[in-house]
Amino acid sequence: MLGASQAIEANVYGGAHISASAALASSEPSVDRFERGTIRRIEAKEHVFCDGDPRTHVFRIEEGVIALSKLLGDGRRQIIEFAYPGDYIGLGTLREHIFDAQATCAAKVRCLSAAALEQEASRDAGLALRLYKAVSAELAATRALLVSVGQQSAMERLAGFLLSLSARTANPGDETVVKLPMRRSDIADLLGLTIETVSRTITKLRTMHVIDVVRGTEVHILDIERLTELAGQ
């Protein structure tokens, strides 16, 4: 059906710890309109929007990574997903955002009017259906993360995270080099662990010669089979 739907299914089956909503793009002119919003540049750690802000826009990531997260009163934070280029954030039906969206590194996003999008979708079944599929894919990815956080050990979570990153962002053809465009604290808050546990687990994977880490931000997967085993099912 849609050109994008295959990419979505691939993501979902990959058991993603990251967003999987790339279904809105379309070649129809009636939709392209929403692809023409202004570009906004975001600094590392800058917010795209905050918990409680009115939901005026939907954003498509053009460059960089945006972390969607919930901050609890005492400083604990859960990251819900990392949104990569092609992903949309801010979809939904609520009038206000209920999460923070913060860049983990310098990024660019395209701003699309939420009201215009919703209005057009109420007339255009094709667009509404793409919205449905985009959110469904995101739901599947969030459920996969929930399974990981609820049931798996630190090692399983981290191995699974690296594999999902690899499947999602590595150059096609070379799945062994994975860039980590976020701090350890972001990974920790995604996986429901602490910075120290993430660091120790990465170290363990290095001493096992399953991965190699270059300058802290680039992971080379040396033994993808072993890594897959370590990720559990």
Partner DNA sequence: CGTTCATTTGAGTGAAGTCAAACCGAGTGG
Partner DNA sequence: CCACTCGGTTTGACTTCACTCAAATGAACG
* Binding footprint of a second copy, residue count (CB under 8 A): 50
Taking the complex as a whole, the smallest distance from the CB of residue 193 to a second copy amounts, in Å, to 9
Which entry of DNA, a second copy, none binds 184, CB below 5 to 8 A by partner kind?
Answer: DNA
Binding residue for a second copy (CB under 8 A) from 47, 77, 108, 184?
77
Ramachandran quadrant class, 34 (left: phi over 0; alpha: psi -120 to 50; beta: rest): alpha
The residue (of 86 and 211) whose beta carbon lies closer to a second copy is 86
Binding residue for DNA (CB under 7 A) from 7, 106, 116, 155?
155
Q: Does 30 bind DNA (CB under 7 A)?
A: no
Per-residue three-class SS string for 119-184: HHHHHCHHHHHHHHHHHHHHHHHHHHHHHHHHHCCHHHHHHHHHHHHHHHHCCCCCCCEEECCCCH
Q: Does 140 bind a second copy (CB under 8 A)?
A: yes
The residue (of 20 and 109) whose beta carbon lies closer to a second copy is 20
Whether 130 and 26 have beta carbons less than 8 Å apart is answered as: yes
Q: Looking only at residues 167 through 226 of this chain, which bind a second copy when binding is defined by CB under 8 A? A: 189, 191-192
Q: Does 192 bind DNA (CB under 7 A)?
A: yes
> d(Cα 88, Cα 71) in Å, to the nearest integer?
21
Q: Tell me the torsion sign for CA atoms 219, 44, 109, 111.
A: positive
Taking the complex as a whole, the smallest distance from the CB of residue 189 to a second copy amounts, in Å, to 8
Q: Does 78 bind DNA (CB under 7 A)?
A: no
SS3 of residue 110 by DSSP: strand
Taking the complex as a whole, the smallest distance from the CB of residue 232 to DNA amounts, in Å, to 11
Q: Does 94 bind a second copy (CB under 8 A)?
A: yes
SS3 of residue 60 by DSSP: strand
> d(Cα 175, Cα 25) in Å, to the nearest integer?
25
Backbone phi, psi, residue 230, to 5°:
-65, -25
Which entry of a second copy, DNA, none binds 196, CB below 5 to 8 A by partner kind?
Answer: DNA
Using DSSP bridges, classify how beta strands 66-71 and 100-103 pair: parallel, antiparallel or unpaired: antiparallel
> d(Cα 205, Cα 163) in Å, to the nearest integer?
13
Q: Does 185 bind DNA (CB under 7 A)?
A: yes
Residues facing residue 178 across a β-bridge: 219
Taking the complex as a whole, the smallest distance from the CB of residue 223 to DNA amounts, in Å, to 18
Binding site for a second copy (CB under 8 A): 5, 8-9, 12-13, 70, 72-74, 76-78, 80, 91-94, 98-99, 121-129, 131-133, 135-140, 142-143, 145-147, 149-151, 189, 191-192, 232-233
Binding site for DNA (CB under 7 A): 45, 153-155, 183-185, 192-200, 202-203, 213, 215-216
